[in-house]
Structure 1
Amino acid sequence: MGCCVLQITGLILGGVGMVGALAATAMPQWRVSAYVDGNIVVFETIWEGLWMDCISQLGIRLQCKFYDSVLALPPPLEAFRALMCAAVALSVLSFLAAIVGVKYSQRGEQEPQAISIFILVAGVAFLLTGTLVLIPVSWTGAAVVRDFYDPAVPVPLKRELGAALYVGWGSSALLLAAGAMYCHCWCGAAPAAGPTYPWLARAALPRAGRPAPGVHAYV
């Protein structure tokens, strides 16, 4: 009963984390223009994301433009794109595996091996998804903080942490928590699942009345 509650809780956390990972990937607010020293331009706000950069004027008019060339992008940005896309795809697979695991769990002990397999797949996939989201988000955040306090970087080029980074950190925490819950459930369900090949266990048991190989019984 307790493991079933953990599975449902992990399913909810994983679903919210999946939506958050998709939102963080699409949001352009990864890097936001900073208002420091004499760079107090309250009329415009610059957003820089994985796919586009935007200029917001007084919060009323928003102009966005996709990056013209993929080959002209910095290598870290290309890597972040790949990691976030892989994380979104893996989060969907993790969520589907978690749904199947909860479905089998509702049947009781009829399918113990299926329960164990799907719980393990969901747990490992959620953990991997959370790690994939955490890498580009934390890397970008560290670069923003480093450039902000670097005196060699011109003031107009300084940026602050955008909302997409906070969404990514929250989504990563939810996905990691969901993965930990499913792995915990798998550790509890694995001993109850029994041997993977029960016919091997039966074959190893001695059978009464059968002579050992190579021994002939005479009456």
Structure 2
Amino acid sequence: MASAALELVGFFLGLLGLMGSLVSTVLPFWENTAHIGSNIVTASGNVKGLWMACVHQSTGTFQCDTYNSILALSSDLQASRALMVISLVLSTLGLAIAVLGMQCTVCLESSGELKKRVAGVGGCFFCVAGFMTLVPVSWTTNNVIQNFYSPSVPATLKFELGDCLYLGIVSAVLSMLGGGMLALSFCEGHEGEGHRGRRYRGGGYPYPVGGGSVPVVRNPATMQMGGIGVNSRGHTLVRSGSGSSGGVHVKPLAAGYDVTGYV
């Protein structure tokens, strides 16, 4: 059963996952130049990302160039771009939907069942977004490791894992973990509730959830001399004696009892 605190923790985890995925998508630190061998290079490091490639010169200058043609890119890079953008869109939608369905917000307060389902849908969006972030990050990590240990690739063309790959993995895990916490709202049941908002105890007599007046059933068999009756205001009429000399004592009913008219 998801509580308000659990939903709040899941929301912030999903928000951190969204921010980490955004940083990983924008920055070019997906692949770093591997400095192996005894060759002296004039550039202190080359980095590559989804949108640009940068060169860090030994003089301290940092120059970046964006990729000129989309069609000239490799298929894995194009797919990584698309998946990261879709992940950001889904995380943003999950963030907006989760705000509407969380218990700590005032949106959709009148319909409790719908509010819980909305929070669960937001959590599902976070889970899918985290999975879509994990796919291109893992794909790129595998390619970098295979090229690094491949003997056919020259040493000057070998790269190491960049910081954005580590950040992408952490962001994907945070998004899926936060989405799972929000998705627990689907498991929240309605224990002890009957039809039309009434609850049942013991013998099965319903009573309203919010208190209110108790329905009174009048039994004509008790409205006779020497018996006990119930008037329209919910009071007990006790007749004593016989004939016209008998008095009538009015006693109020105790609140919370279901009067059936049978004594």
Q: Partners in 1 of 2:94 and 2:26 — Cα distance?
A: 20
For 2:157, give the aligned amino acid: L
TM-score (structure 2 length as normaliser): 0.68
Question: How far 1:185 sits from its partner (Å)?
Answer: 2.8
Superposition pairs of residues 67-146 of structure 1, within 5 angstroms:
67-102=67-102, 110-146=110-146
Q: Contact conserved, 1:42 with 1:58, CA < 8 A, in 2?
A: yes
Question: How far 1:110 sits from its partner (Å)?
Answer: 3.6
Q: Contact conserved, 2:31 with 2:47, CA < 8 A, in 1?
A: yes
> Which structure 2 segments of 5+ residues have no match?
197-263
In the other structure, the counterpart of 1:164 is 164
In the other structure, the counterpart of 2:35 is 35
In the other structure, the counterpart of 2:207 is none
Q: Partners in 2 of 1:19 and 1:41 — Cα distance?
A: 35
The alignment yields a C-alpha RMSD, in angstroms, of 2.6
Question: How far 1:118 sits from its partner (Å)?
Answer: 1.1
**Secondary structure of the structure 1 residue equivalent to 2:102:** helix
Question: How far 1:115 sits from its partner (Å)?
Answer: 1.5
**Range moving further from structure 2, 144-153 or 97-106:** 97-106
Q: Contact conserved, 1:104 with 1:114, CA < 8 A, in 2?
A: no
1:39–1:194 Cα change, 3 Å: farther
**Range moving further from structure 2, 107-116 or 93-102:** 107-116
Question: How far 1:111 sits from its partner (Å)?
Answer: 2.0
How many residue pairs match? The answer is 195
More strand by share: 2
Q: Partners in 1 of 2:55 and 2:25 — Cα distance?
A: 18
Q: Contact conserved, 1:112 with 1:193, CA < 8 A, in 2?
A: no
In the other structure, the counterpart of 2:46 is 46
1:170–1:40 Cα change, 3 Å: farther
Q: Partners in 2 of 1:193 and 1:69 — Cα distance?
A: 59
Greater CA radius of gyration, 1 or 2?
A: 2
Tell me: higher relative CO, structure 1 or 2? Use CA pairs within 8 A at least 6 residues apart.
1
Question: How far 1:186 sits from its partner (Å)?
Answer: 2.3
> Which structure 1 segments of 5+ residues have no match?
199-219
Q: Partners in 2 of 1:107 and 1:194 — Cα distance?
A: 25
Superposition pairs of residues 5-20 of structure 1, within 5 angstroms:
5-20=5-20
TM-score (structure 1 length as normaliser): 0.81
In the other structure, the counterpart of 1:213 is none
Task: Give the percent of matched residue pairs that are identical in Structure 1 and Structure 2.
Answer: 36
